[in-house]
Amino acid sequence: MVISSLKFAEVAKNLLNQGTILYKYGGSDLHGMDSGGFIGYCLRQCGVAVSFSGTNDIYRNAGRVIPMHLDKAVPGVILLPITHDGKEPDRYRGDGYGNASYAAICYTPGYAAYPSEKYQKEDGIAKPPKRDVAALR
């Protein structure tokens, strides 16, 4: 199924504009979600059936990966900051891809939406720290 990247970005932005989303590790609904659950929730709102297990699974299996800086991202791109810290899940450790510890959706150039215990601001919209970013389109 193909969805409009602008629709996907709009779903993400509207969700966060409804109020602060509670961060809940492993969550994927309005009662609380982590960043992987947020991506899945937004995709389901666009009519896409998803089945993945966290942000590292999204990174390795969800689409074409393009190295990109947040400032170059276009609305609808899934952003996955990648670190090589050895903290990826055991099943991926040593595959050379690194760790996608969280995911975000670009909703306007230079800004991304995501729920995060560490980076969330009061309005639920934050600008992630600059790191290597893999973008899925």
Q: What is the mean pLDDT of the chain?
A: 78
Type of residue numbered 98: G
Of the candidates 6, 57, 61, the one whose C-alpha atom is nearest the C-alpha of residue 36 is 57
Domain residue spans of the chain: 5-136
pLDDT in tens, 72-103: 888 888 888 888 888 889 999 999 988 988 88
The residue among 122 and 75 whose pLDDT is bigger is 75
Task: Band the pLDDT of 24: cuts 50, 70, 90.
Answer: confident
* 3-state SS assignment for residue 46: coil
Q: What is the pTM of this model?
A: 0.78
Return the bridge partners of 28, or none.
33
**Which of 73-85 are b and which e, b meaning 16 or more Cβ less than 10 Å from the residue's Cβ?**
bebbbbbbbbeee
For the domain made up of 5-136, the CATH class stated in words is: alpha beta
Q: Let me know how many helices (H) and strands (E) the chain has, helices first.
A: 3, 9
Q: Indicate the SS3 state at residue 24.
A: coil
